[in-house]
Copies of this chain bind each other. A is one copy, B any other.
Amino acid sequence: MSDPGLACCTPLSGTAMSADQAEQVAPLLKALADPVRLRLVSLIASSTTGEACVCDLNDAFDLTQATISHHLKVLHSAGVLDREKRGVWVYYAVRPEALAAVASLFQAPALTPA
């Protein structure tokens, strides 16, 4: 606590992000803040069909199928990936809204200095 008569700086005006906003966006960031999950999203997004099945994603990593499945579940729960089962295989596709939300977040005035 600083003495009000001896302020060290201007008292933080402007419209900052609310605590609720931060609590809401943080899980999305946290889901993407992992190198494996970033590559998973990138692999799916860069696929020619815009989607990918788990078997091919497994081959792209030196990780267990259980681990890849776990990461896909995290991304799906966070709203980054869509999940669709067709026959024996499961296909994941990226949700552009989720990525756009993150992109716009770091261009919003609340996070971009003047």
Contacts and interface: CB of A to CB of B under 8 A. Distances in A.
B89 A8 contact: yes
A56 B7 CA distance: 9
Copies in the complex: 2
Interface residues of A, number: 65
B107 A93 contact: no
Given A35-B26, A107-B103, A112-B99, A10 B47 contact: yes
Interface of A, secondary structure class, is mixed
Interface string A7-21: 011111111110100
Interface of A: 1-2, 8-17, 19, 22-23, 25-26, 29-30, 32-36, 38-39, 41-53, 55-60, 88-89, 91, 93-94, 96, 99-100, 102-107, 109-114
